[in-house]
Homo-oligomer: A and B are copies of this chain.
Amino acid sequence: MSLIIIGTVAFDAIETPFGKTDKIVGGAATYASLAASYFCNKVKIVGVVGDDFPQSDIDTFTEHGIDTEGLQVKKGEKSFFWSGKYHNDMNSRDTLVTELNVLESFDPIIPESYQDCEYLMLGNLTPIVQRTVIERLKKRPKLIVLDTMNFWMDIMMDDLLETIKLVDVLTINDAEARQLAGEYSLVKAAKKILAMGPKYLIIKKGEHGALLFNEDKIFSAPALPLAEVFDPTGAGDTFAGGFIGYLAKVGTISFNNMKNAIIFGSALASFCVEKFGTEKILNLTEEEVSARIKEFVSLSAFTIE
């Protein structure tokens, strides 16, 4: 089934304890669409770049079967640029540079060929742009997943709440869940957030895995313990892309399918952090992905009679 992914397509410059990169391709929609492309062959991207964005990188999307008709290229403008430096624990980072550039006036265009979409991933962006995309789809998709971050809670909570109302699944991290709900307990926070509109809430806990909440049900997904996290950039977007890509492939929304989707998303994210940027998730084989899934299964399986 077809899947629209909206989000940033950008340049990142990343510094970790293991090294640093020049400007490399990044952005929420980049990671999410690459991850989704492993499961779904009808991924359609919506985003904006400047004419500094190399055609060869747009071709990379195409080679992964990702439709770029909705990716606007703004003549004479520059792409969104973010630069950050991770601390030694790799769990926290400082933003060194944020240049919005084309993002400042981003008006998402939904090509006519995208209108049949059944799955929609709203990657991290201003909640107003995210809402605009929902409004511009003539038919509401079967499933809308929204990813956001503390930044929007700090500066435009009301707009964010308006957008959250409209979606089926919200993905945020534990600190963001606590901020959004004003509750320290994640169980209490989840209850409040589910009352804000979404039927499902995914709380991402990085190296501690993820929690899925739906009505009174909870699923706790493990994270793969890794000897080395090389670069965490894009892991959350890769998770979200793998998650919705898997669901679009399966085609049925259920708690059980959501659980599996979280495992597939986590598996893709566990690859993502092994190299800088998108490097590792550009060319995974089916065997690599299914071996990684098996690791997740054996990691958390136990049998009590």
Contact = CB atoms under 8 A, between A and B. Distances in A.
Contacts of A302: 219, 221, 256, 259-260, 263, 300
Interface in A240-272: 256, 259-260, 263
A205 interface: yes
Q: Which of A208, A223, A302 has the most CB of B within 10 A?
A: A302
A187 B227 CA distance: 5
A209 B223 CA distance: 11
A228 B300 contact: no
A260 to B, nearest CB: 5
Interface residues of A, number: 36
A191 B303 CA distance: 26
23 contacts: A88-B184, A186-B207, A187-B226, A188-B228, A190-B225, A209-B209, A209-B220, A218-B225, A218-B299, A219-B299, A219-B302, A220-B222, A220-B223, A220-B225, A220-B300, A222-B222, A222-B300, A259-B302, A260-B302, A260-B303, A260-B304, A300-B300, A300-B302
Contacts of A300: 219-222, 300, 302
A7 to B, nearest CB: 27
Contacts of A90: 184
Contacts of A220: 209, 222-223, 225, 299-300
A220 to B, nearest CB: 4
Nearest to A225: B187
A223 to B, nearest CB: 8
A89 interface: yes
Given A221-B302, A256-B302, 15 more contacts: A90-B184, A185-B227, A186-B207, A187-B226, A187-B227, A188-B227, A190-B225, A211-B225, A218-B299, A219-B299, A219-B302, A220-B223, A220-B299, A222-B300, A263-B302
A112 to B, nearest CB: 37
A297 interface: yes
B304 A226 contact: no
A14 to B, nearest CB: 18
Given A256-B302, A259-B302, A208 B211 contact: no
A273 to B, nearest CB: 12
Contacts of A263: 302, 304
Contacts of A110: none
A303 B226 CA distance: 23
A293 interface: yes
Q: Which of A88, A188, A208, A263 has the most CB of B within 10 A?
A: A208
Contacts of A218: 225, 299
Contacts of A225: 186-187, 190, 211, 218, 220
